[in-house]
A and B are shown apart, each in its own frame.
Chain A
Amino acid sequence: MSQRTLPPGRAEPGRLAKITSEEWLRRSLLLLLLGVLLVGILLPLVPLGMRSLSDPQGNFVGLDNYVRYFSSPGLTSSLFNSLTIAGKTTLLAVGLAFVYAWALARTCMPGKHFFRAVALLPLVVPPLALAIGLVYLFGRKGLVTTGFFGFFEQNFGIALGFDLNLYGQNGILLGELIYCFPQAFLILAVAASLADARLYEASQVLNASPLRTFWSVTLPEMRYGLISAVFVCFTLAFTDFGIPKVVGGNYNVLATDIYKQVIGQQNFVMGATVSIVLLIPTVLAFVADRIAQRHQNAVLTARATPLHPRPTPLLDRFALVYCSLVAAAILAVTGTVIYASLVDVWPYRLELTLRHYDFSKVGGGGWEAYTNSLWMAFYTAGVGTAIIFAGAYLIEKNRTWGPLRQTAYFLSMISVALPGLVIGLAYIFFFNPTHWTLLGVEMPNPFAGLYGTMAILVLSNIVHFYTVSFMAATTALKQIDGELEAVSASLGVPFYRTFWRITLPLSLPAVAEIALYLFVNAMVTVSAVILLYSPQIKLASVAIVNLDDAGDTAAAAAMSVLVIAACLTVRILYFWITRPLHRRTQAWRLP
């Protein structure tokens, strides 16, 4: 067949791509998303970086602040301390969580549901509360330090007190360990459950010893999970503020330095400088993790057969003992917080009372702060889930404007590398001034009205917890066949209708999961909001810090219990609500 040209007058010549009203809507939404991400994530970092390069009067001084930082031994020792804490925590938490996850996935020990629930319990406990629990156990008047309030001494004549020397490195390490353990466990539990039985059978047939099988099959299978867990734990322990604040004593770390510089000394310039110092390792960890994960092809192919562990009495018993010890430690710390909040005067009058829950005689904001926190968590969950899921949809199920979508994707992923304190400080610099000065030009700040409102607290939380939610949403969307969208388009159905009737219902489990995640984290977080809350809007997690600072530790424990209670209630509500919801919208999953 020869090539033909279009006969003249047969049809009008091709125009540029026709842009329908639907396409306009799609593009406007994408632009809106990009705007939110720019204002929420990228732009606030600009004044933060600028501030670290200026003197307190705002004159550009180059790297002077960094030179000053690194020549002051008091400050650099904090960097060293932070790295030490992060390194040790990572090693211990990942190690402990690895064995725990392995025991749950690969042995036939009893009580797996219980041990899984206990391992995840610290997720709903504010890190500060963990630290307070440690104080009640190992502090100067702690249960362990005093040998159960002298119980042994009185009855058996032997002092069994044990002083851990809590305040300082030991306390921080112990706190971070409990704080990071569930995060590592979550990642490693998934990795451990993705086992291909065929590989184990092959190894068995080839007569490999259990140890060799572990080295040549189990470890390689779990290596991406291990890498991820390492970076997550490192970042968390490196940037955490709450635990060092309570049990750090004179052991300074970067996060507490930022807080002291900004809140204590009102030295914003040095605060910004330390923030950048804090930011660099976390960004590096983020980049390293991304590079490592890029090599991860599907570990589990579609043809893999799931592994069912077989009983091995010795190993199962070891697993049970091990998991019991870890679970006991977690329960002890959490239980102590609850107990301490109910005790009249620790450790002298152990009568139970609810008087610590009457916050009227202490600072921190009391029940009002608690209600504020509940509303903030509620808004964060509602608005955040909507933005994050719609954003993931626009990025994942859209064909136009490739570079724009990639930018939005990049911003969505990078937020995980931003520590809460850095977000908080950056927001101060970005949202507080009534006027921005950019290259000598002054312009009014259109977002100035947000400062000190609930909105900025909610925004900071959404940004802080954006990436994990975004990845969950993206994963859920990727599981939906792309041809469903093609079919809808061929039927002339606009994309928003398909989103509402098909995409959203199919992703409902993921959506609920994201909302729950945002709620719990907004409830327990302290790092970003402690720099942003206003006296009119006090928050529960901040109240824990302030109560503990003021010596009202029992009230701080009571507030912690309230936060834990809210998170657990929402988790149970989630379970109750999603079950019938599951049944209705996921009816198609049933045979």
Chain B
Amino acid sequence: MAPGGSFLLWAPQNDPHLAQKTMTVLDPFLQLYNVHKHFGRHVVLETLVLDVDQGEFLFLLGPSGCGKTTLLRLIAGLEPLTAGQILQAGRDVTRLPAAERDFGIVFQSYALFPNLTVAENIAYGLQNRKQGRTQIAARVQELLQLVGLQGLAPRYPAQISGGQQQRVALARALAPAPSLLLLDEPLSALDARVRAGLRGEIKSLQRRLGITTIMVTHDQEEALSMADRIAVMDQGRIVQLDTPLAIYQQPATPFVADFVGQMNFLPGVASGEGVGVVRTGAFALRVQNWEGDLVPGNSLMLAIRPEEIRIERDADALSNILVAELQAVEFMGPVYRLLLRHTVPDFCNAAVSLTLTLPRHAAEHSELHVGEALPLHLPADALRVFRTGKKPA
């Protein structure tokens, strides 16, 4: 899927401003061509292509070791690339040292200067630009206001909380008004409550300033809730680049399906009973997103999100029914999680675990008994088909 096209299709409903911007700006703001990086013999990034649009909030999402942080450091010029080219605002920055590029960066460790006060930290990048004292002071005040830290100016980093430190780091990165903001897991060192609050703040700040932003994270929830687009990375490659919704609903590979959100996998065989029918054990399931070239007998993998599965007591009325044994019920707060087991005789009687989430009140009304066989409805439009017969680990 071409990034530009898909973007328009999936433009967030609540931001016409951004969509319009994308249509008027012709060239992407940041362009990576065949970027390649290896340390010794170890390949970290494999011929990677990526365009980032002006004003876009792009996420690099992946498990640790997938190369996402290395990619960010390449963009920053903190690490030399082995091959390829990087253009920023039409300018070739491939060989420029970090100091000659135009970006601000925030690290997971905040990397605040411990011996400088909050105000001095923010002013650090301004003092080099031949600005007057009053001008700098005014800019520092402006930034303190922007991140909501007025009054903390004379404190040292060790004297303020983690969340406040991260805001200072953000203000310091934004102080010289860079055209690109790089965030390297900025929230992962914070505790859950602070993290959730800062998510919204960073997002709205980014909107307000319209600054092109790339953020690295391994937290899929963070990426889904904040990103304009997400580049899901695995083993040095971008495996899918799309909007959060598209990545959640139409994961391109089993890896993406499993890494972003929760996913149930069911082994199956393309059946001759009609187009889009898959056999899994004794059950036949109809699938909507069918790829035409599947031949009967092809083994494949079905995938469905836990919240899409429904318990149907009067199963006769519906097709796409599968019966599984209820193994355990876990209380998760707002929802219950049901763990079920389904046996597939075709696959050496392999037991397949299924997970299902039910809102609390729904679960409390359905009289669930561990050990009972539950008929499950798997809607045809919620089922995804993957050609590879393997479920990712």
Contacts and interface: CB of A to CB of B under 8 A. Distances in A.
B159 interface: yes
A484 B113 contact: yes
Contacts of A587: 115, 156
Given A18-B95, A494-B99, A5 B34 contact: yes
A3 B34 contact: yes
A11 B90 contact: yes
A487 interface: yes
A533 to B, nearest CB: 42
A22 interface: yes
Contacts of A23: 97
A589 B34 contact: no
B18 interface: no
A114 interface: no
A481 B110 CA distance: 10
Contacts of A502: 113, 115-116
Interface string A1-27: 101111000111111111010110000
Contacts of B107: 483, 486-487
Contact of B158 (A13, A18, A493, A591): A591
Interface string A131-174: 00000000000000000000000000000000000000000000
A20 B100 contact: yes
A401 interface: no
A505 B95 CA distance: 32
A96 interface: no
Query: Number of contact residues on A: which range applies?
Result: 35 or more
A14 B34 contact: no
A506 B87 contact: no
B158 to A, nearest CB: 6
Contacts of A20: 97, 99-100
A481 B98 contact: no
Contacts of B281: none
Given A11-B91, A481-B111, A484-B113, A492 B105 contact: no
Interface of A is mostly: loop
A528 B127 CA distance: 47
B96 A18 contact: yes
B98 A486 contact: yes
B78 A489 contact: yes
A10 B34 contact: no
Contacts of B157: 588
A489 B99 contact: yes
A512 to B, nearest CB: 15
B128 A494 contact: yes
A11 B84 CA distance: 13
B109 interface: yes
Interface residues of B, number: 47
Given A20-B99, A489-B99, A14 B92 contact: yes
A551 B12 CA distance: 96
Contact of B128 (A4, A492, A506, A588): A492
Interface in A501-516: 501-502, 505-506
A488 B113 CA distance: 10
A497 interface: yes
Contacts of B182: 490
Contacts of A494: 99, 128
B98 A489 contact: yes
B151 interface: no
B102 to A, nearest CB: 9
Contacts of B238: 1
Contacts of B96: 18
B104 interface: yes
B105 A486 contact: yes
Contacts of A484: 111, 113
Contact of B76 (A6, A15, A22, A490): A490
B85 interface: yes
B114 interface: yes
B125 interface: yes
A487 B168 CA distance: 13
A434 interface: no
A506 B241 CA distance: 43
A585 interface: yes
Nearest to A17: B95
Contacts of B259: none
A34 B23 CA distance: 56
A491 B85 contact: no
A1 B49 contact: yes
Nearest to B117: A588
A13 to B, nearest CB: 8
Nearest to B182: A490
A4 B78 contact: no
A492 B102 CA distance: 9
B331 interface: no
B90 A493 contact: no
B58 to A, nearest CB: 15
A18 B97 contact: yes
Nearest to B2: A1
A492 B87 contact: no
Nearest to A489: B98
Interface of A: 1, 3-6, 10-18, 20, 22-23, 481, 483-484, 486-494, 497, 501-502, 505-506, 585-591
24 contacts: A3-B34, A5-B34, A6-B85, A11-B92, A17-B80, A20-B97, A22-B97, A22-B99, A23-B97, A483-B109, A486-B78, A486-B98, A486-B107, A487-B172, A488-B124, A490-B182, A492-B99, A492-B129, A493-B125, A501-B116, A505-B115, A506-B114, A588-B114, A589-B114
Which 10 A-B residue pairs are closest in the complex by CB-CB distance? A491-B125, A483-B111, A489-B98, A588-B156, A14-B94, A11-B92, A490-B105, A588-B114, A483-B107, A489-B99
Interface of B: 33-34, 47, 49, 76-78, 80, 85, 87, 90-92, 94-101, 103-105, 107, 109, 111, 113-116, 124-125, 127-129, 156-159, 172-173, 175-176, 182, 238, 241
